[in-house]
Structure 1
Amino acid sequence: MMIMLFLSIFFVQGLEAQSQIGGAVVDEAGIPVPFTNILLLQASDSSLVKGEVTDSAGAFLITDIAPAAYLLEASMIGYAKYNSGVFELKAEPGGKKMGRISLSQNATELAGVEVVAKKPFFEQKIDRLVVNVAGSITAAGATALEVLERSPGIIVDRQNSSISLSGKDGVVVMINGKINRMPMAAVVQMLQGMPSGNIEKIELITTPPANFEAEGNAGYINIVLKQSGDQGLNGSYTVSGGAGKGDVSSAALNFNFRHRDINLYGGYSFSRQAQQQVFNMDRLVGLNGQTIRTETETVRDPVQRNHNLRLGLDWNLSPKTVVGVLVSGYDNRWSMEAMNHSVLSLNGMPDSLIAIRNDEVNHWQHLGGNLNIQHTIGEGESVSLDFDYLRYENENPTNYLIDYSDGSGNFLFSDQTFSGKTTPIRVGVGKLDYTKQFSGNIHLEAGLKGTINRLDNDVSVADIRNGIRMYDPDLTARYHLDESIAAAYTSLDLKLDKKSDLKLGLRYEYTNSNLGSNEQADIVDRQYGNFFPSVFLSRNFNDNNSANLSYSRRITRPTFKDMAPFVIFLDPYTFFSGNAALQPAVSNNLKVDYRYKSALFSLQYAVEDSAIAGFQSRVIEGTNRQLLGAENMKNRKTANFTVAFPLHIGKWWNMQNNLIGTWQEVNTYFDGEPVQVRAQNLQVVWINSFTLPHDFSAELVGFYRTRGLSGAQVSLPMGAVNIGIQKKLGDNGGTLRFGIDDLFNSLGFGFETNFPEYNMVSKGTADFSQRTFKLTYSRNFGNNKLKGSRKRATGAEEERKRVD
């Protein structure tokens, strides 16, 4: 890997021969000023030659400049404009170095009209699609979650608090390049309370480059917030309450405070949900020449309470060095009472009735810390270092009271059962990243990363007799997982000509995993290394037409939750369990994008070996017991086609239409025999935004998905309609919104398995929530032109994902 890095550096140094102009912009205290507008003007008539924007470290580089006399102008809201005076650019390697440009703050602000160049709503970059939210009419007054819903290829399921990208679940959401590694329900809540007026753009990264973790197959969504130059305090808060078949409530507060070289930022959110959930399961099993049918209905009344906290500090030690500390954590508690009724029939006749009352508590706690040091070595060259420590605790005790009756309903006897799980997880991460701009045409990135994971898992199942727990030795054990991952990467950006760009990347990851128990030392003992190449090619034909081609190789490791052994009973014959034997899945992804004006067309094909599918069903041979859990498929092939286009029907009505067509083939094994399943799936998202008089606005959103595949199971059609109306309460009075989610009470998850030759015939539905009415108030406070917190990610984002 190091040889590859040295060859990359040697190669780019040999190509350095283009003229360029570079420098850095700072304020009067020497603090970098990111996102400053840099304009290069002809000295003869002040006509525009080229424009750039400074990066997060305040640096800029203007490339492909012909030798001549020029002027340089730097401007930023809240600062006085800078003009360089005339200078001569000569045809020589290295070009012109402007050094540090210092901007002074304005004493007053111009109360006139600002003229800006408007970016297209959709902008295709070489490795991502950018949705330019700032200045968009349809995004005005919306929340971050609503803007995300309108973005191409994204589907937001508000009821189940999930987000998918290009038809794939498990997407990672980042804010300013930093993953808020909270449970997805908390991320959705946070986005729902974030005003769109704070958002500059949204980046959709379906095939991540080499500097991103190789973990994950769904991609990344990066929400970039606006930043400006003033200091002080700003923030926003949101409160929400509502009811459906149960109550829902939430509150969120985010703030940012900057004073000279110190920046303090953070956020806290709370949510409570008490929505009733209903599950139904119907399955057939052939056993000893007889057909056993099990029909189960479970009515659950859970109360879910979530606390999430994030607090960070950035300290500019010098104009070139920034030290940051970030602490984050959550406390999520799920408590539930459920009633389960099962009917067992033998050859079509009722044989026995089972009623189960279970009380469950699932309590997750997390605390994590990050230390980050970022240093600018020179112009266009920087290095950053991250250290992370993450700690998780999970307690999951459940008590079952089971009443057995005969087929006529006559009571027979009762059982009491206890199951428990205690899971502490510890993760340590170190990460080093290096970047260098060699010339106007070449940019190099390289890095190293090391991770150590430790998981302990105590699982137990016991019968309770006369108040005493009698533990089942077959279902009671202590497991431990030790895992280490070492990674290195290099990435090279090449500008082939004025309209074409090439990005090449290579990442190597080596994994050593050992899973054992107190009775068996090496249940799983794996050592494996993988190369993960990535290639991106882009061509901008003109302002209305552009195309991209990309390839990447990715890995999906089993989550700790999926691997950690546990048992949750739905009834005495149906239970959920972890799978310690899960293998990592490796995928190869090919994608083609084409943009015509505001319309986007995308074609993607992926082959995933040992694909991991959750909630899979199998019957334990020779019994009537059904096991539900994550399983490895032999492979999964997926092709999807995405079309996204806006329609402006009038000044008051805007529409965004997203269509995703998916073809999928799954190859797996049942009882050692190969099985192949194919299906087509269509997802449609239809979003209507209405601008009404007197600062009112309204929205109508529809979502529908046809039958498709979920592993080897068939997922049933689902859809929903949401409506909302919003009122702005003056200049700084906040925003009040009333909405109805799942208007027609149509949203639910269903699946079926139909392989009678393998004794696998089942069908199930799950309704996680119902029609819900919600009232939400949100408001910004403080200095709305405050420069936001530094854009950075910690080194432990992949590890957090595997826990959450």
Structure 2
Amino acid sequence: MMKNLILTAFLLFILTGSSLAQLTGKLQDEKRVALAYANVAVLHTSDSTAVTGVVTGAEGDFAVPTPAEGEYLLRLSAIGYRTMFVGPFEVIARGMRKDFGVLTLKENAEMLREVTVQTLRPTITVDADKMVVSVEGTALAAGSTAYEVLEKSPGVWVDQDGNLQLNGKAGVRVMIDGRPSFLSGKELQSMLEAMSAENVKSIEVIANPSSKYDAAGSSGIINIKLKQNTRQGMNGSLYGGYQYNKASGYNAGANVNYKKGSWNSFVSADVAKRPRLREGVMIREFYEAGADARFHQLRDELMATSTPALRLGTDYDFNDKHSVGAVANFSHSTTDRAFYSDTDMNDRAKGVHTFVKAGNFNDITSNSSAFNLHYSGLLDTTGTSLAINLDYIQLNNNNEARYANSFRNLNTGAGSEELLKTYNPGYYDIYSTNIDFGANILENTKLEMGFKGSHVLSGNQLSFYVADPEQKNRQVLDEARSNHYRYTENIFAAYANLSIKMSESWNLQAGLRGEQTIGEGKPVGGGETIKKRYLDFFPSFFLTHKVSGSYKIVYNYSRRIDRPNYRTLNPFIFYQDPYSWAEGNPDLKPQYTNSFQLIQTLQNTYNLVLGYTHTKDFFAEVPQQNSENNTTIYQERNIDKSESFSATLIAPVKVLKNWDVSNNLVAGHQRNKILLQDKELTNEQFTFTAQSTHNVLLPLGLQLQATAGYSSPTTYGVYKFKTQWWMDVGLKKSFLDDKLDLMLGATDVFRTREARGDASYNGNMFTFVNYFMAKSVRLNLRYNFQRGQNFKSKNRSTRLEELNRAGGQ
């Protein structure tokens, strides 16, 4: 049934697009930059009354339905540009098509200085290779974190452990301004929660990256673009806010940009305290091999992270062709975590009924430093370019934990206590070099080539102690649960990418990337050395067909890889409670994904994306339940394969002049094949998610944004997740000529965004419910200041992948 629906939608899309008669063209400015969201109106020549009109798309293209027979003018207008009239021209038949070609608007300097315009921009746009979600200036961004904005993006899903999925698939790589975030899992979540969404410009969702990007990321790449300096002189902003979600939090910061002559510099500082609370229930039932036991646990987690962060950089332009620069990022975070649980363990087969009251207490500190040196240059007048990036990143973290367990036998009333302690420091040193070269080798052909080399050294130590509850200073090292592990890895990569404009209607981009991986993991003090060495090739293919001025199709394919996170390869035992722990897996292999997409765009506004992915050796967390002692071991493992079909529809609607709605729907089918204890299990599910965001300009200068979302049941590995729905609202008001913004927001208004799921295999059952206190209220202030003229700053970005895999520390 799903395939029939997709096929029907596809055919309707093609028939609708190909049957339209249109007036088409493209708008650009004097620098040949496409003018997006400009107004194109069709006027009667007799009285200049408007007949119809459209807004240009992200690439400046427009397509206006052909009006009735008559004589008309085109009126082209955009904020900051002089209005332009084209014509007159005559429509001789209702089905006539006319292409006006490329039209250029000139800047209106006086308007730029004197006029302030309030408008609503589209929330979501789709390009040939990515989906762009606008964040800057929205009411919900105020006081939110980058993590909260990210999880509201189309197709993005966050599992119970904070891992990101895209269109139901794991293996997402997160980049910031083109640079990898260097983390995954909970560490990535902590870092994004410490980043204010007020500094985010947009989020790019790249489902099928080209060969220019690292091959890592089986389900794609998410690139968070921060606001860039766009003015001469000094400008910036100050902001502060308060949040309440059963606990109080705050954030404050400043951004300052300064450009004078050939120098362009910036500094941004942010300090925040972000509470994270969780209420949850976990139930496990053991029935394998005649067992009859039930584990029931109530959970209550209190966690607060304090994070000061500093980012600074500078660029120097030797001339208009060559520039050098440097960027540095520093952050320090401290986390206090208290996790309380009441566990009822009733083993009916053995006649043992135990109650455990536990408290887990963690003091976590993390420090990160990242340095980038870059050069970019144009080597001739034909567009030949060279970019060089050198990166060094250092992460240090430490987790001191204390586990206090109190046992009571409900059959006899006997009780006992247990006190455990762990000391877990870790570090990562990453060195990387990127060289990218581009040249126009023919009139309509561009060649891009590049090289990357990286070296990673990671270390992790876990010291596990059993303490005496009566004499807390007396503790004994448990060598069986202690370890010290080092992992080194070198990756050498090269790519070539060719872009060809074959005609006005057809464009081709094809590339090939090769990556050689050499890794070695070894326990300090002796033990088996794990060596990993493999060479892989990753092709990519993009074919764009501009069927008409209003209808475009993109066919794309790419092969991707996901290497295991460094910590996952460490054969540690990570304690959770007396009945639960996690183990590393040094035998974990990389997973490989083949991804296909067909993207259709109508009227530069509506998009339908059809996709299919197949992943071999897909790795996912598998809870292995042991009915002999009623324990559960969590381990990331390679399952046989995972495949998914998906259809994504993006349909913005303008309800009224001041009311825009962005709608996106994702439907698909997920299927996972898993081999557990020589038994093949299949976990599959039809999925559907929908999200609608309303932007409304109200009287008195108020801006309202409301988002409603729904997610049907989904799968991940052996897990099945239940339905979710939610609603967020935000209100924004500007003062002092738009220099001061006041924002009030509320998230998960009805407290419905619970994470509920289960797994069932080999006669055992696993069920959980978690609520992370998504319901909150926020109040934020932001003051913007400036002194100087507009200018265009260069976008400095590099692409690293290695520290994405440094998660879990």
TM-score (ref. length: structure 2):
0.79
One-letter code aligned to 2:462: V
Quote how far apart the aligned CAs of 1:550 are. Answer: 0.1
Structural mapping, 1:442-453, within 5 Å = 442-453=445-456
Question: For the structure 1 residues 148 and 489, does the alpha-carbon distance in structure 2 shift closer, same or farther, using more than 3 Å as the test?
Answer: same
Question: For the structure 1 residues 113 and 460, does the alpha-carbon distance in structure 2 shift closer, same or farther, using more than 3 Å as the test?
Answer: closer
Question: For the structure 1 residues 790 and 553, does the alpha-carbon distance in structure 2 shift closer, same or farther, using more than 3 Å as the test?
Answer: same
The aligned counterpart of 2:199 is 194
Question: For the structure 1 residues 124 and 654, does the alpha-carbon distance in structure 2 shift closer, same or farther, using more than 3 Å as the test?
Answer: closer
2:803 matches 1:803? no
Question: For the structure 1 residues 280 and 595, does the alpha-carbon distance in structure 2 shift closer, same or farther, using more than 3 Å as the test?
Answer: same
Give distance in 1, aligned partners of 2:482 and 2:474: 16
Unaligned runs of 5+ in 2: 1-28, 36-58, 60-77, 83-106
Q: Is the 8 A contact 1:685 1:702 kept in 2?
A: yes
Give distance in 1, aligned partners of 2:354 and 2:649: 52
3-state SS of 2:479 partner: coil
The aligned counterpart of 2:772 is 768
Q: Is the 8 A contact 1:459 1:565 kept in 2?
A: no
The aligned counterpart of 1:316 is 317
Give distance in 1, aligned partners of 2:234 and 2:321: 24
2:425 matches 1:422? yes
3-state SS of 1:207 partner: coil
Question: For the structure 1 residues 110 and 414, does the alpha-carbon distance in structure 2 shift closer, same or farther, using more than 3 Å as the test?
Answer: closer
Quote how far apart the aligned CAs of 1:336 are. Answer: 1.3
One-letter code aligned to 2:618: A
3-state SS of 1:694 partner: helix
Give distance in 2, aligned partners of 1:549 and 1:287: 48
Structural mapping, 1:656-667, within 5 Å = 656-667=662-673
Question: For the structure 1 residues 566 and 236, does the alpha-carbon distance in structure 2 shift closer, same or farther, using more than 3 Å as the test?
Answer: farther
Give distance in 1, aligned partners of 2:546 and 2:643: 30
| Cα shift readout 1:745-790 (whole Å, capped 9, x = no counterpart) | 11121221111xx243111122222421111112322147543643
Structural mapping, 1:559-598, within 5 Å = 559-597=565-603, 598=605
The aligned counterpart of 2:613 is 606
One-letter code aligned to 1:459: L
Give distance in 2, aligned partners of 1:436 and 1:394: 43
The aligned counterpart of 2:378 is 376
| Cα shift readout 1:447-488 (whole Å, capped 9, x = no counterpart) | 111111111111122211333221222111111101111100
3-state SS of 1:474 partner: helix
Question: For the structure 1 residues 464 and 608, does the alpha-carbon distance in structure 2 shift closer, same or farther, using more than 3 Å as the test?
Answer: same
296-305 vs 174-183, which moves further: 174-183
Structural mapping, 1:331-346, within 5 Å = 331-346=332-347
| Cα shift readout 1:77-110 (whole Å, capped 9, x = no counterpart) | 9999xxxxxxxxxxxxxxxxxxxxxxxx999776
| Cα shift readout 1:18-49 (whole Å, capped 9, x = no counterpart) | xxxxxxx99xxxxxx99699xxxxxxxxxxxx
Structural mapping, 1:542-553, within 5 Å = 542-553=548-559
3-state SS of 1:801 partner: helix
Question: For the structure 1 residues 113 and 518, does the alpha-carbon distance in structure 2 shift closer, same or farther, using more than 3 Å as the test?
Answer: closer
2:664 matches 1:648? no
Q: Is the 8 A contact 1:165 1:219 kept in 2?
A: yes
Question: For the structure 1 residues 185 and 461, does the alpha-carbon distance in structure 2 shift closer, same or farther, using more than 3 Å as the test?
Answer: closer
The aligned counterpart of 1:402 is 405
Q: Is the 8 A contact 2:745 2:777 kept in 1?
A: yes
Among 127, 137, 162, the alignment partner of 2:129 is 127
Give distance in 2, aligned partners of 1:146 and 1:483: 29
Q: Is the 8 A contact 1:156 1:163 kept in 2?
A: yes
The aligned counterpart of 2:365 is 363
Q: Is the 8 A contact 1:592 1:602 kept in 2?
A: yes
Quote how far apart the aligned CAs of 1:203 are. Answer: 4.3
The aligned counterpart of 1:679 is 685
Quote how far apart the aligned CAs of 1:566 are. Answer: 4.3
Question: For the structure 1 residues 152 and 627, does the alpha-carbon distance in structure 2 shift closer, same or farther, using more than 3 Å as the test?
Answer: closer
284-293 vs 714-723, which moves further: 284-293
Structural mapping, 1:186-265, within 5 Å = 186-187=191-192, 190=195, 192-194=197-199, 199=201, 203-222=204-223, 230-265=231-266
Give distance in 1, aligned partners of 2:488 and 2:299: 37
The aligned counterpart of 2:476 is 470
Q: Is the 8 A contact 1:124 1:546 kept in 2?
A: no
Q: Is the 8 A contact 2:168 2:716 kept in 1?
A: no
Give distance in 2, aligned partners of 1:392 and 1:207: 29
Give distance in 2, aligned partners of 1:684 and 1:204: 17
Give distance in 2, aligned partners of 1:702 and 1:119: 19
The aligned counterpart of 2:784 is 780
Structural mapping, 1:469-508, within 5 Å = 469-508=475-514
Give distance in 2, aligned partners of 1:610 and 1:655: 40
The aligned counterpart of 1:354 is 356
Quote how far apart the aligned CAs of 1:442 are. Answer: 0.5
Across the aligned residues of Structure 1 and Structure 2, the Cα RMSD in angstroms comes to 3.9
Q: Is the 8 A contact 1:177 1:791 kept in 2?
A: no
Q: Is the 8 A contact 1:716 1:751 kept in 2?
A: yes
Give distance in 1, aligned partners of 2:526 and 2:673: 31
2:310 matches 1:302? no
Q: Is the 8 A contact 1:508 1:529 kept in 2?
A: yes
3-state SS of 1:397 partner: strand
The aligned counterpart of 2:41 is none
Give distance in 1, aligned partners of 2:673 and 2:723: 22
307-316 vs 220-229, which moves further: 220-229
Question: For the structure 1 residues 137 and 389, does the alpha-carbon distance in structure 2 shift closer, same or farther, using more than 3 Å as the test?
Answer: closer
One-letter code aligned to 1:364: S
Quote how far apart the aligned CAs of 1:323 are. Answer: 1.4
Question: For the structure 1 residues 481 and 221, does the alpha-carbon distance in structure 2 shift closer, same or farther, using more than 3 Å as the test?
Answer: closer
Quote how far apart the aligned CAs of 1:394 are. Answer: 1.6
One-letter code aligned to 1:577: E
Question: For the structure 1 residues 760 and 454, does the alpha-carbon distance in structure 2 shift closer, same or farther, using more than 3 Å as the test?
Answer: farther
Quote how far apart the aligned CAs of 1:605 are. Answer: 0.5
Q: Is the 8 A contact 1:389 1:428 kept in 2?
A: yes
The aligned counterpart of 1:90 is none
Q: Is the 8 A contact 1:321 1:373 kept in 2?
A: yes
3-state SS of 1:731 partner: coil
3-state SS of 1:396 partner: strand
Q: Is the 8 A contact 1:351 1:406 kept in 2?
A: yes
Among 693, 714, 717, the alignment partner of 2:723 is 717
3-state SS of 2:710 partner: strand
One-letter code aligned to 1:314: D
Question: For the structure 1 residues 311 and 34, does the alpha-carbon distance in structure 2 shift closer, same or farther, using more than 3 Å as the test?
Answer: farther
Q: Is the 8 A contact 1:427 1:451 kept in 2?
A: yes
The aligned counterpart of 1:457 is 460
Give distance in 1, aligned partners of 2:738 and 2:648: 39
Quote how far apart the aligned CAs of 1:527 are. Answer: 0.5
Identity %: 22
Q: Is the 8 A contact 2:217 2:561 kept in 1?
A: yes
Q: Is the 8 A contact 1:256 1:788 kept in 2?
A: no
The aligned counterpart of 1:752 is 758
Unaligned runs of 5+ in 1: 1-24, 27-32, 38-54, 56-75, 81-104
Question: For the structure 1 residues 149 and 644, does the alpha-carbon distance in structure 2 shift closer, same or farther, using more than 3 Å as the test?
Answer: farther
Q: Is the 8 A contact 1:292 1:346 kept in 2?
A: yes
Give distance in 1, aligned partners of 2:159 and 2:80: 38
3-state SS of 1:436 partner: strand
3-state SS of 1:541 partner: strand
| Residues matched between the structures, number | 708
The aligned counterpart of 2:13 is none
